[in-house]
Amino acid sequence: MIDNLKNRGQWATRMGFMLACAGSAIGLGNIWKFPYIAGMNGGGLFVLIYLFCIFAVGIPIMICEFAVGRSTQSSPVEAFRKLTSKNSFWQIVGWMGILSGFVILSYYSVVAGWAMHYVFLSVKNFNGATNPEVISGFFGALYSNGWVNLFWHAIFMLLTISVILGGVKKGIERAARWLMPILFGMMLLLLIRSSFMSGFSQAVSFVFSPDASKLTAAGVLEALGHSFFTLSLGMGAMLTYGSYLSHKTDLVKSSIIISIMDTAVALIACLILFPVLFTYGMSPEAGPGLVFKSMPMVFSQLPGGTIFAVIFFLLLTLAALTSAISLMEVVTSFFIDTLGWKRKTATLLPGFLIFLFGIPSALSGGALSKFTMLGGKNFFDAMDYLSSNWFLPLGGLCIALFVGYRMDLSLVKKEFKENSIFAKLFTPWFYCVRYLAPLAVAIVFLYKIGLLKF
Ligand code: PHE
């Protein structure tokens, strides 16, 4: 093992660490995905189950990732080696994390590219179009245009790389300190705007009043699966951010605050999107196209819509950027810690490879639309499916099992209790880590891969 702790970064402030973690968690998962899956699952009750999953499974596993990262001050592969042995089986969890970071970032960057393209379409006011079909047609045109997708994919990867090149303090932390307050400000502005709409109260009751009739077993499992993706768990992103942390920080309190921020943003995103939909008599069940197809249409009919559309898609871009940074950092920190590379090489080379690997995703709606794998999925969908349904749940399960059964108990206790105002919660937390979380994740995992049916 190459011990180059000096080469590693550290967070300058606790606030910087919190904002970087919140930046990782808050992303396309909150603003693009959560509203449409909540919409498709009938709102209220789904939201309640999602909240339960965040608290009973997500937060406990986030604490595990922080504990492994901080106690070893290492990126995933080295972390598992340090806590076991050099040839230990557990290091596979670290390798899987790097693979996940690589795969997720390659297609995440393409979606972020769509958001950037929509910023420009919004500035141009969608060429003045107001007809729903014309507006939703913009998305189809973008999806099938390989060159435009490649262009934005390249720009977004360059942005991500340029932040990572700056290192932990001057890159990631500084970006989070600037971008996160802007993001919260933008959300607040959009929330205020939507709260004046006639559909606001209908939206509030849709999101907060439970309706059991629309919820299915698949919906419950989707809630749990999504709680992983949205909290950036199961691939070592939080583990890596935890490795730049000093022993002064309260891991439990931090995990709770980060998760609450992430959940608040997901709920606020619903309260921004749904009032507009209800006001204009549209269905919240529009599916994955909700943001890109419906939102511009709705904005086009709204007084001052152009400016709000620009803000909305900028928000989506910034949220995606702070998440992409954490995906990239997992890959970069591996090359720094394990191979002893300089940050510059450890960023540029894998960054370029991720860009190359993302090319088939960028072309999935165009030149490669006929190319299918994994039972009829195009490359883009296949990468999304592989990472969300296989890599993340499996990674989360392994991390919970590792901390619950393999890691030295006294070290686990020390990490949990150190400077924590929640030290008394150790036993219930450990119970979640050993039994509840692995069981819940195993069920989701088996269901998603089709081995378990309801
Ligand atoms: N949490 C991010 C989102 O909600 C996605 C992500 C997953 C980021 C895994 C890092 C690691 O969009």
Q: Is 30 in the pocket of ligand 1 (CB under 6 A)?
A: yes
Token pair belonging to 84: 């076991």
CA-to-CA separations, 315 to 86, 95, 310, in angstroms, rounded:
43, 32, 8
Model confidence band, residue 1 (pLDDT cutoffs 50, 70, 90): very low
Residue 6 has pLDDT above 60, yes or no: no
Q: Which atom of ligand 1 is nearest to the CA of 30?
A: 4
Helix 437-448, helix 392-401: angle, nearest 10:
150
Comparing C-alpha atoms, which of 49, 14, 12, 50 is closest to residue 30? 50
Q: Is 230 in the pocket of ligand 1 (CB under 6 A)?
A: yes
Half-sphere exposure of 91 toward its Cβ, with a 13 Å CA cutoff?
16
Comparing C-alpha atoms, which of 11, 27, 344 is closest to residue 161? 344
Burial tier of 452 (Cβ tally within 10 Å: 0-12, 13-18, 19+): middle
Comparing C-alpha atoms, which of 286, 253, 342 is closest to residue 8? 342
Separation of 258 CA from ligand 1 center, angstroms? 13
Q: Is 323 in the pocket of ligand 1 (CB under 6 A)?
A: yes
- Quote the percentage of the chain above a pLDDT of 90: 58
Residue 216 has pLDDT above 90, yes or no: no
Which residues are bridge partners to 373 per DSSP? Answer: 377
Cα 72 to Cα 245: distance, rounded to the nearest angstrom = 10
- Give me the architecture of the 5-448 domain, per CATH: Up-down Bundle (1.20)
Separation of 24 CA from ligand 1 center, angstroms? 6
Q: Is 29 in the pocket of ligand 1 (CB under 6 A)?
A: yes
Model confidence band, residue 98 (pLDDT cutoffs 50, 70, 90): very high
Residue type for position 110: V
- Quote the percentage of the chain above a pLDDT of 70: 97
Cα 197 to Cα 135: distance, rounded to the nearest angstrom = 22
How much is the pTM? Answer: 0.91
CA-to-CA separations, 419 to 248, 414, 442, in angstroms, rounded:
6, 9, 32
Comparing C-alpha atoms, which of 245, 148, 203, 197 is closest to residue 35? 203
Cα 370 to Cα 379: distance, rounded to the nearest angstrom = 10
Question: Considering only CA atoms, which residue is closest to atom 7 of ligand 1?
Answer: 232
Q: Which residue reads 């605050």 in tokens?
A: 257
pLDDT digits (tens, 9 = 90+) for 14-45: 999 999 999 999 999 999 889 888 888 888 89
pLDDT digits (tens, 9 = 90+) for 123-133: 988 888 877 77
Cα 191 to Cα 26: distance, rounded to the nearest angstrom = 17
| Structural domain boundaries in the chain | 5-448
Separation of 318 CA from ligand 1 center, angstroms? 13
Question: Considering only CA atoms, which residue is closest to atom 6 of ligand 1?
Answer: 232
The dihedral over CA atoms of 309, 315, 317, 320, expressed in degrees to the nearest 10, equals -140
pLDDT digits (tens, 9 = 90+) for 58-70: 999 999 999 999 9
Cα 256 to Cα 19: distance, rounded to the nearest angstrom = 13
Mean pLDDT of all residues in 320-339: 94
